[in-house]
Homo-oligomer: A and B are copies of this chain.
Amino acid sequence: MKRRPVVALAGGVGAARFLDGLARVVPPARLFIIGNTGDDAEIHGLHISPDLDTVTYTLAGLADPQRGWGIRGDRFGCLEALGRLGGETWFQLGDRDLGTHLYRTDRLRQGATLTEITAEITARLGVRSKLVPMSDARVRTRICTAAGELEFQTYFVKRRARDKVASVRFEGAAEAKPAGGVLEAIAEAEAILFCPSNPFISIHPILAVPGIREALERRRDRVAAVSPIVGGRALKGPAAAMMKSMNMRPSAAEVARLYTRLVGLFVMDEADRKQIAAVENLGMRAVVTGTVMHGRRERKALARVVVREMGISL
C-alpha cells in the first residue's frame, strides 16, 4: 500500500533545515514539499528561485552549512569579474550556484514549467523528496516600506531587510494556479506541516495562491506549524522586525494567530512555554519542544516530536 504523503509548506533556510531532519525520520520519498516562489527574481536576466534552491541544496547535502544558502565551497569568480566591469553584485551568486540559474533560465526559455525544471534539478542532484513550486505562474512578493514599494530581493538582500515594513503583497497571486499535484497532495496528506519559516514572506505567498488556503482549512486537523519565532526573536531573517513594524508583538503566539483556522497543532520552543494558553485560546493544540536546530541531532529531534504529535505513521 502506498503511504500517504507528508506535505510541507517551505520557505528558505529554516524550512530547509527542518526538512533535512524530517527526511531522516520519515522516508524522504513520502515528503511532498511546496516551495515558496514569491521571492523569485530575475537578476542579470537569470531566473532565480532562492527558496527552491535552498531546499534542494540542503536535501542534496550540498548546502553551505554556515550561510544556509548557496553551495558548500562555492567560489565567486563570476561575481568578482562582473563587479570589475561595474555590474551589480549585491545579489550573491556563487559560480556553481550559477549553473542552476543558467539551467533553469534556459529550460524556462525552452518552454518547460518551473515544476518540470524543479523535478529535473532535484532528480539530478539525488533529492528523493518531491519539491514543487507553489505555482508555475509568476507571483512576486512586494514589500511596502517608507521608501516605497520594493521588489522582494531589493528589500531583503540589497537593502538588508532594514526598511520598516508597512505591508506585503503578492503580485500575480490572484491569477495564479497551484502547481500540478499541490491540491491533491494536501487533500490526501497524512499530515501537512508549515515549516519554521517567515509567515509574511514564506508561508503567506503560498497561501495567497487561490485554492491552497481553502484546501488547508479542510484539513486543519492534520495541519501543524512550527514557530519561526523563539523567545520573541526570529532565528534567521526579518520575521520579528516585520511583526513589530506591522504593529504585532513578535512572539510565537502571534505567529499562531496568523495561522488561525489553518492549523490544528502549533509547535513552539520551550522558551515560549508561557504562551501555551494564548495559542490554545486560538483553537489549536500547543506543544513545546526544542526548536533551535544547531545541527543534525536537533533537526531530527524536532522532526520526531512533530511526527509523534501528529501521529504520522512510520
- Among A45, A83, A98, A125, the one with the most B-chain Cβ atoms within 10 Å of its Cβ is A98
Contact of A78 among B78, B105, B121 (CB under 8 A): B78
Say yes or no: A99 contacts B87, CB within 8 Å.
Answer: yes
Number of interface residues of A (CB under 8 A): 33
Say yes or no: A96 contacts B109, CB within 8 Å.
Answer: no
A294 within 8 A of B: no
A121 and B81 CA atoms in complex are apart in Å by 11
A185 and B190 CA atoms in complex are apart in Å by 74
A214 within 8 A of B: no
Q: Which residues of B contact A309 (CB under 8 A)?
A: none
The secondary-structure label for the interface of chain A is helix
Say yes or no: A99 contacts B124, CB within 8 Å.
Answer: no
Count of this chain's copies in the oligomeric assembly: 2
A295 within 8 A of B: no
Q: Which residues of B contact A71 (CB under 8 A)?
A: 81
A103 and B85 CA atoms in complex are apart in Å by 7
| Known contacts A44-B102, A45-B109; is-contact A97 B81 (Cβ 8 Å) | yes
The chain B residue sitting closest to A89, CB to CB, is B99
Q: Which residues of B contact A77 (CB under 8 A)?
A: 74-75, 77, 94-96, 99
Q: Which residues of B contact A84 (CB under 8 A)?
A: 99, 124-125
Complex A-B: 28 CB contacts under 8 Å: A44-B103, A44-B106, A45-B105, A45-B109, A46-B102, A75-B75, A77-B94, A77-B99, A78-B78, A78-B95, A78-B96, A78-B102, A81-B96, A81-B97, A81-B100, A82-B99, A83-B99, A84-B99, A84-B124, A85-B99, A85-B103, A85-B120, A85-B121, A85-B124, A86-B120, A87-B102, A87-B103, A98-B98
